[in-house]
Amino acid sequence: MEAQLRRGPREGWLSVLLLAIVIWAVVHSVQEAAWVEDLDVLVPLAMFGLLVGLAAAKSGLKRWAAHTAGVLLGIQAVVLLFGNRMTASTWEGKIAELIWHVHVWLYTAFTGGNSRDNVMFALYMASIAWLLSYGSSWLVFKLGRGGWAVAIAGCLCLLHLSYSYSTLNYHFFVLLFAGLLLIVRLELLRRQAFWARSGLEVQGAVVRNVVLTSAVAIVLVMGLARQGPSEQPSGLLDPVWSRIMDNWQRGQSQVDRMFGGVQGPPVVVVGLAFSSTMQPREGFELGTQPVLKIEAPRNRYWRTTSYLTYTGQGMVAGDVYGDRFEADQPLPLPFVAGEAREEMEQIITVLAPQSNLVFSADAPVRVSVPTLVEWREQQEDPSVVRLAQMLRKGQQYTVVSFASVASETQLRAAGDDLPAGVQKYLQLPNTLPDRVKALSSELTAGAPTAYDKALAIEAYLRGLTYETRIVPPSAERDWVDYTLFDQQSGYADSYATAMTVMLRSVGVPARVVTGFAPGAYDEAEAAYIVYESEAHAWVEVYFPRLGWINFEPSNLRAVPFRPSTESIAIGDLSNIDGMYSESPGDFYLEDAYLDAYGEYLPSLPARRDEAWIVALGVVAGLLVIAAGAAFVVMRIFRRGLKGLPWHAQWYGQFRRLASWAGLGGKPSQTPYEYADWIEQRYPGTRRMVRPIADCYVQGVYSNRDPDPETLARASKAWEEARRPLARRVLLRWVIAARGQVEAARKRLEKRAA
């Protein structure tokens, strides 16, 4: 094996270099993004994995033995690299510290907590880098599957770049160039092997010219592709894509929960991105682009996502279930809280590139386009409402909300008779420090009602400093405890989480919600323009019959307005128990009541390209079916022949193809007898069949391989024969029908004579 590696792999060192560039593009994009510390080991680790994979592929070991050795070497390399970065003074201590990181992370994963241990993220990335490099090397140098290796690397690169910064996108173009050139080089290698078996000599200049020409062609194609149209894709597939993204985001929330400490360079919050997990951030900057235009009678907080569970290290939306609601279909009113609320219509225009979130003032009860509602335990407790169809910039939808107009008098008189399902918003982890509870009790000692308790805690937190660049707590510290007693400063997320936890500790149900602050009113547009910089988090506190009410614990924003006079309930809720169908989870507002809202139609721009899109879809579908059929046919055609010597493959393929064309002959015929027989049935084929038969007879019966000249003649004959035979296969039934017609004509002529 060592001698072989000194000479170089059969695929050539150029292939090794190209694969190294492909892998480098993936791992270096992660390393350069600098999500966490200790990612500088990724590139050297990946290059080492490539060499190990190359050695394993060329070692001659059985597959299980090679992979076992590769995995053990990978584990050893990762442990050595990261163990050396632990703080302990001895290697025993370093290994124990590393095991402790893994143990705590796994415990957090299985107990539903949040992890901010960045060492585990670095370990995770290092493991992926090793598996990618080792696996790609095995695919290329053992299995000859360069296309698979490039496709896997490309998918991983695109996945990372979708979360990263646009300045890193050049990695994908480097990967694309090197990957395509690697595929060309491997295909050329296969051709060279065939030419060598056929006794054909290929000068080195030919190989070099093919590689250089392919490189130039790849660069030109990539350049032309970048000049192509940049329009958004058709909206006809948006429902399917939205469903895929909906499931993807649910899985992503688990990743967010396990790697909450990942920050990277100062984060720029852009667009309409709201995660289902909220955890401490070291520092961030908010973008300045407009994202929404909202036509509404008054300003409000425009909410989208709520969070249920506090883990000690962050807030999590919790386990959710999904249902689809059609356009204008009434949505469940949260916990039947309909008192002191007004009907409020908002026409929302998307100004960001795209969005699948519904933004609304308080509780949305009807949306003019189909939606996907994610709810907790019961439908009247939605976590987030998403658009079933991804909307693009300039498109709009209408939301009808029940916005609270409850006065302070009504909030103080709400009482504490909580409906079923609200009690879960009192959840707190067992690890919550006692001094958080003590401070909460001290602040609310003189507060007689839940509303007064919320005001007291809100006022206390608004007295702390608002700061977006802070040192986050360590992985084992409680976030709220750290904010209140160590940092004593923070931003919207930390203050909203702190208020929620403090209220829960004194028996008041509360939760964190995210969305946007009201925005700036534009006289010309007669609408509120909402910018990325107004992404925000605040608190909702539950009051019986009145529902979720907004509170603002950070002094960055004004305290929500409370009406001075009492407001009446919307609709007649005196017989609300009779409005349930079977259970509280099935509650909806009656259609007759909602008819008073009028008819709201989606104000989406009319599309004029459906015919073209459908036609292209049909063509694409036919192409996919044809490609699948061709793949199946080729698998059947080559079944049992793969791995045989070339002389046997050519003869076997010829007999099989001729058989499909109706010229199979008899199994007892010798190659030469078959050549004579097919000449009689299909004149002109002898010159093509005879060289193949000669090559087969020489290879099977002479106890030696066919000479290069015989192989070359057989190869040329097979190239000439397969096209007319393939055409005859396609026209076999036409030829058979024509033969039957000709036979019938002759019989008629014979009878007439």
Burial zone of 715 (CB within 10 Å; 0-12 exposed, 13-18 middle, 19+ buried): buried
Tell me the C-alpha distance between 50 and 132, whole Å. 9
Of 604, 714, 20, nearest to 327 by C-alpha is 604
Q: Is the pLDDT of residue 257 over 70?
A: no
Q: Is 373 helix (H, G, I), strand (E, B) or coil?
A: strand
Q: Amino acid identity of 603?
A: S
Tell me the C-alpha distance between 179 and 161, whole Å. 17
Write out the two tokens for 15.
Answer: 């292939």
The mean pLDDT of 347-372, rounded to a whole number, is 88
Backbone angles phi, psi at 385, to 5 degrees: -115, 125
Burial zone of 449 (CB within 10 Å; 0-12 exposed, 13-18 middle, 19+ buried): middle
Q: Is 205 helix (H, G, I), strand (E, B) or coil?
A: helix
Of 466, 450, 446, nearest to 505 by C-alpha is 450
* Average pLDDT, rounded, for the chain: 78
Q: Is the pLDDT of residue 641 over 90?
A: no
Q: Is 647 helix (H, G, I), strand (E, B) or coil?
A: helix
Instruction: Give how far Cα 703 sits from Cα of 205, 670, 698, 700, Å.
Output: 36, 18, 8, 6
Write out the two tokens for 620.
Answer: 């694409």
Cα angle value 185/189/193 (rounded, 5°): 170
The mean pLDDT of 376-397, rounded to a whole number, is 84
Residue 571, pLDDT score:
38
Domain segments of the chain as ranges: 2-226, 242-429+508-597, 624-747
Q: Is the pLDDT of residue 155 over 80?
A: yes
b/e per residue, 88-121, with b = 16+ CB within 10 A?
Answer: eeeeeebeebbeebeebbeebeeeebbbbbbbbb
Tell me the C-alpha distance between 687 and 720, whole Å. 10
Of 248, 284, 682, 201, nearest to 492 by C-alpha is 284
Higher pLDDT, 511 or 569: 511
Tell me the C-alpha distance between 113 and 554, whole Å. 26
CB 38 within 8 A of CB 119: yes
Q: Is 510 helix (H, G, I), strand (E, B) or coil?
A: strand
Q: How many CB atoms lie within 10 A of CB 366?
A: 22
Residue with tokens 């160039």: 177
Q: What is the pLDDT of residues 73-103, one digit of tens each?
A: 988 888 888 888 887 788 888 888 888 878 7
**Residue 542: beta bridge partners?**
548
The set of residues, in sequence order, having a beta carbon less than 8 Å from that of 184 and lying 6+ positions away, is: 210, 211, 214, 218
The reported pTM is 0.57
Higher pLDDT, 268 or 246: 246
Burial zone of 270 (CB within 10 Å; 0-12 exposed, 13-18 middle, 19+ buried): middle
Q: How many CB atoms lie within 10 A of CB 493?
A: 24
In the DSSP assignment, the letter for residue 670 is -
Give the distance from CA 664 to its chain's centroid.
Answer: 51
Q: What is the pLDDT of residues 481-535, one digit of tens each?
A: 999 999 999 999 999 999 999 999 999 999 999 999 988 898 888 999 999 888 8
Tell me the C-alpha distance between 13 and 403, whole Å. 68
Provide the residue count of the chain.
753
Higher pLDDT, 62 or 276: 62
The mean pLDDT of 140-147, rounded to a whole number, is 87
Tell me the C-alpha distance between 116 and 111, whole Å. 15
CB 150 within 8 A of CB 132: no
Residue 569, pLDDT score:
42
CB 116 within 8 A of CB 472: yes
**Residue 470: beta bridge partners?**
none
Write out the two tokens for 231.
Answer: 């329009």
CB 121 within 8 A of CB 34: no
Residue with tokens 């189909």: 370
Determine if residue 526 is left, alpha or beta; phi over 0 gives left, psi from -120 to 50 gives alpha, anything else beta.
left
CB-facing half-sphere around the CA of 432: CA atoms within 13 A = 22
Residue 589, pLDDT score:
32
CB-facing half-sphere around the CA of 98: CA atoms within 13 A = 21
Of 274, 280, 296, nearest to 374 by C-alpha is 274
Strands 535-543 and 321-325: unpaired
Q: How many CB atoms lie within 10 A of CB 603?
A: 14
Q: Amino acid identity of 650?
A: W
Q: Is the pLDDT of residue 543 over 60?
A: yes
Tell me the C-alpha distance between 390 and 240, whole Å. 10
Q: Is 398 helix (H, G, I), strand (E, B) or coil?
A: strand
CB 466 within 8 A of CB 554: yes
Model confidence at 389, pLDDT cuts 50, 70, 90, reads: confident
Residue 312, pLDDT score:
87
In terms of average pLDDT, the best of 109-123, 378-392, 532-546 is 532-546
Q: Amino acid identity of 245?
A: M
Q: Is the pLDDT of residue 244 over 60?
A: no
